[in-house]
Structure 1
Amino acid sequence: MLKNPGITKETIGEIIALYANKISTNRYIAAIRDAFASTIPITIASAFFVLINNVLLAEETGLLREIPGRTFLSELCVQGYNGTIGMLGIMVTFLIGYRLARSYGNDGALEGIIALACYITLIPNTLTIVGNNGESIQANGILTQTYTSASTMLLGILAALFGITLLCKLSTNEKLKIKMPDSVPPAIAKSFNLLIPALLTITVFALLETGIRTLTGVTVPELVIEVLQAPLVGGFQSLSGILLYVFLSTVVFIFGIHGSFVFGAISGPILLTSLQQNIDAINSGNVVPNIVTQSFLDAYVYMGGGGTMICLVITVLIASKRKDERMIAKLGGISSIFNISEPMMFGLPIVFNPIYAVPFCLTPIVATVSAYLATSWEWVKPTYISIPWVTPPILSGYLATAGDIRASLLQAVIILLGILVYLPFVLLSNKMIKEDL
């Protein structure tokens, strides 16, 4: 019982929903979230290229390593990867600039290009190449995959947010607009209106890059990685850090708020960077540095959707005597196979249900700890394949680890543990309904 009779769980939910709505509708958060949503086809396509190359065509362990044309197919997959997730940082920077400009009422396309220009202005474009004889040459005007993929995506996000905000503010100043005759096509006239604001914006970023590099000897990407990106990625890689994120993104579901939707704009860039670092390590033959990636959460924690819902579906079908719960579990269980939990969330319901709130929050915690420890103890391979979030449990673990059957076994163990967590509460739900009758 709450001490203040005027405060109920419904009013608490309304307060949480109010603040969550403010976060999710913030123009900057929304721009990042929508930009990443737009890249889903690209990340899924890249997953197939990486999966085929690392599972089917791998030189020593690939199932199809002996087929004719393996080298050709492998190179095809590499090129597919280069054109998808290998360019993800560039794509996201453009899309954030586009989405943010749209929130200011602008067309967005030209602003997206300017966001990309701001980002490229901040990164090194000189590459030192050492030949076999030990001599080195410098090649200018080069963009390596370090700066086009997700490795330095955080810098691209910052460049887009700050650059387009500055551009949109400057573009409202009538003195900075170049007036064109009415006979000039609108698209051309708009481009000239943005000419001076774009020039000033890019100049600011060029001064920032040149000033930092001249005064400190450190490039802007190195500074951002050291000061911002490394601590953020490191925070998610600690057990306490990922547990806090999983708890926060899960507990809001109880109040009808989609946790992944609210927190996805924050976690998305960090977890994608972690995944990219794992891919780079595998490709270079180094030790995989990160335990937690987006694939880690999708494979081990969000099986069946929020609350590791597949566990509740199975528990209800096994132990519940309530016809209403069993019917909802049968219907919602089909979608839970593909990690869609809304039918169970609102049909059982989980939302504002004090009986199921505790196991709903506790099961993902158990899943996270189990998967984290198993990966850190090297019982299973780390996740480094980007998998579609709708990939069914058991299969998702196998794919995310590039064919480690132990990951599928780990998923089965986590599901069993989740069933044990949910079971007392399903029995309690049965007991309460009998008492009401």
Structure 2
Amino acid sequence: MQKFAEKISELLGPIASKFSTQRHLVAIRDGFIAVMPLVIVGSIFVLINNVFLDSTNGLLNNLGNFDKYKEIGLSAYYATLGFLSIFLAFGVGYKLSKEYELDQLGSGFIAVASVIALMPTSMKVSGETIFGVFSETYTSAIGLFVAIFGSIIAIELLRLLKKVEALKIKMPESVPPTVAKSFNLLIPAIIVLTTFSLVSFGATNLIGLNIYEIVSKVIQTPIQAVFQGLPGIVMVLFFQNLLWGFGLHGAFILSPITEPTLLTAIQENMTAYQAGLDIPNIVTKPFLDAFSFAGGGGFTIGLLIAIFLVSKREDYRSIGKLSAVPSCFNINEPLIFGLPVVFNPILMIPLVLVPVINVIIAYLFTSAGLISKTVVMVPWTTPPVISAYLATGGDFRAALLSLGLIVLSVILYMPFVIADNKTVKEN
């Protein structure tokens, strides 16, 4: 069985390695990592506004009406999550331009300008058309797909135009290099922005849909439908944790695909939550963090507790003690590589199956209305149970479910820990 695991690793390893080092996917992944603090900050203010300050259901409503103070949180929300796609456009453009050795700062700004050029600049309010405005629909997480593709295409065009010597503006040697660099971007920037503006104009006038509507219909909606369906998210989790079993960070590798959809889903949920509307999505990033990644990938908090309960191996128990504190914050590398779980054909089975079983249970509970849907983006390092409570806007039932899933995961891991101990004794 060990040889079989090694053969699978030989097959998947190169594929996963190429996937995780592909320059465009790396730029997307790094861009998301860069904006994640803003996502969390915005989510904290959503939590404060709706869990504490709300005059109807807030925890502080017995002390008075605090609705006017929600304006503070709304300002912070619009300054972070309200412009998330703009921030991401800069992050992706900045990271990708570094790969191509372009002027990172200037290229990042051009990427942002290109994405903005695709946005409709008018909207109807009470039957009247207002010009010179941008809708939050396009600047928030809902516009992430256009931001990603737009910034990548803008940088690729800049890369191609950089090779054309005729487009470079020759500056005297006395001009500082930074100034010369900026002027070398001038003509390429004109070409790129003209191209994006023409595309936006053509889509609206020839097709009758703006670029965001086209991308939503063709790409975003189908992908989101897959992720919001139980079979789709089970498949994603299965593959993520299978990669973990071979020593590859599954969530990290697949993040360029999963992050845009999951962040869009939580953005839609937060928007609906603030407006007092029905919450649309079950599967979001905090949903998976709370109910599928307790202790880290593979729901390894269950493995850790199972080791303390049934393992007779002193080395396992010692590694368990060293891994206890990191596991409480969903950091499981000491456990995964210390035991190791990696390439362990016995422990790999629950590593893959436990998160899948737990997400099915959590999905069914949420779908049945037994727990609330997630409406707050909490940091992934938030300890289990607490994260479920916060992510659902303070639902104690979600916290109890999270606790129940931990108990279940311990029960599921225990037979495999015992079997693994026996294997060592027999050898």
Give the TM-score band, short-chain normalised.
over 0.9
What is the distance in 2 between the residues matched to 1:179 and 1:107? 16
The alpha-carbon deviation at position 8 of structure 1 amounts to 5.5
Map 1:245-394 → 2, pairs under 5 A: 245-394=236-385
Aligned to 2:130: 139
What is the distance in 2 between the residues matched to 1:36 and 1:382? 23
What is the distance in 2 between the residues matched to 1:47 and 1:277? 12
Long gaps (5+) in structure 2: none
Aligned to 1:91, which of 87, 91, 114?
87
Q: What letter matches 2:89 in structure 1?
A: T
What is the distance in 1 between the residues matched to 2:182 and 2:103? 11
The alpha-carbon deviation at position 421 of structure 1 amounts to 1.3
What is the distance in 2 between the residues matched to 1:323 and 1:287? 51
Instruction: Report how many residues are paired.
Output: 427
**Is 2:44 aligned against 1:48?**
yes
What is the distance in 1 between the residues matched to 2:147 and 2:271? 19
Q: Please identify, of 70-79 and 149-158, the stretch whose mean Cα deviation from structure 2 is larger.
A: 70-79
**Is 2:402 aligned against 1:411?**
yes
Aligned to 1:225, which of 216, 222, 232?
216
Q: What letter matches 2:101 in structure 1?
A: G
What is the distance in 2 between the residues matched to 1:414 and 1:165? 46
Structure 1, residues 105-146: CA drift from partner, whole Å, max 9, x if none?
12311111111111111110102222xxxxx43221111211
What is the distance in 2 between the residues matched to 1:44 and 1:289? 20
Q: What letter matches 2:249 in structure 1?
A: H
Q: What letter matches 2:107 in structure 1?
A: E
SS at match of 1:102: helix
SS at match of 1:138: strand
Aligned to 2:170: 179
Q: Please identify, of 381-390 and 410-419, the stretch whose mean Cα deviation from structure 2 is larger.
A: 410-419
What is the distance in 2 between the residues matched to 1:378 and 1:388? 24
The alpha-carbon deviation at position 420 of structure 1 amounts to 1.8
**8 Å Cα contact 2:50/2:274 also seen in 1:** no
What is the distance in 1 between the residues matched to 2:401 and 2:84? 31
SS at match of 1:372: helix
SS at match of 2:375: coil
Long gaps (5+) in structure 1: 131-135
**Is 2:70 aligned against 1:74?**
yes
Aligned to 1:105, which of 93, 101, 105?
101
The alpha-carbon deviation at position 255 of structure 1 amounts to 1.1
What is the distance in 1 between the residues matched to 2:244 and 2:306? 20
The alpha-carbon deviation at position 37 of structure 1 amounts to 0.6
Q: What letter matches 1:176 in structure 2?
A: L
Q: What letter matches 1:201 in structure 2?
A: V
Aligned to 1:19: 15
Map 1:116-265 → 2, pairs under 5 A: 116-130=112-126, 136-265=127-256
SS at match of 2:346: helix
Superposition RMSD in Å = 1.5
Q: What letter matches 1:282 in structure 2?
A: Y
The alpha-carbon deviation at position 47 of structure 1 amounts to 2.1
The alpha-carbon deviation at position 306 of structure 1 amounts to 0.8
The alpha-carbon deviation at position 56 of structure 1 amounts to 1.0
Q: What letter matches 2:161 in structure 1?
A: L
The alpha-carbon deviation at position 9 of structure 1 amounts to 3.5
What is the distance in 1 between the residues matched to 2:148 and 2:91? 10
Structure 1, residues 353-397: CA drift from partner, whole Å, max 9, x if none?
011010111101111101111111111000110000000011010
With normalisation by structure 1, the TM-score equals: 0.95
With normalisation by structure 2, the TM-score equals: 0.97
**8 Å Cα contact 2:93/2:111 also seen in 1:** yes
What is the distance in 2 between the residues matched to 1:272 and 1:21? 25
Q: Please identify, of 58-67 and 113-122, the stretch whose mean Cα deviation from structure 2 is larger.
A: 58-67
Q: What letter matches 2:261 in structure 1?
A: I
Aligned to 1:133: none
The alpha-carbon distance between structure 1 residues 247 and 48, as it changes in their structure 2 partners (threshold 3 A), is same
What is the distance in 1 between the residues matched to 2:4 and 2:396? 47
The alpha-carbon deviation at position 16 of structure 1 amounts to 2.0
Q: What letter matches 2:405 in structure 1?
A: I
What is the distance in 1 between the residues matched to 2:237 and 2:218? 24
SS at match of 2:347: helix
The alpha-carbon distance between structure 1 residues 66 and 144, as it changes in their structure 2 partners (threshold 3 A), is farther
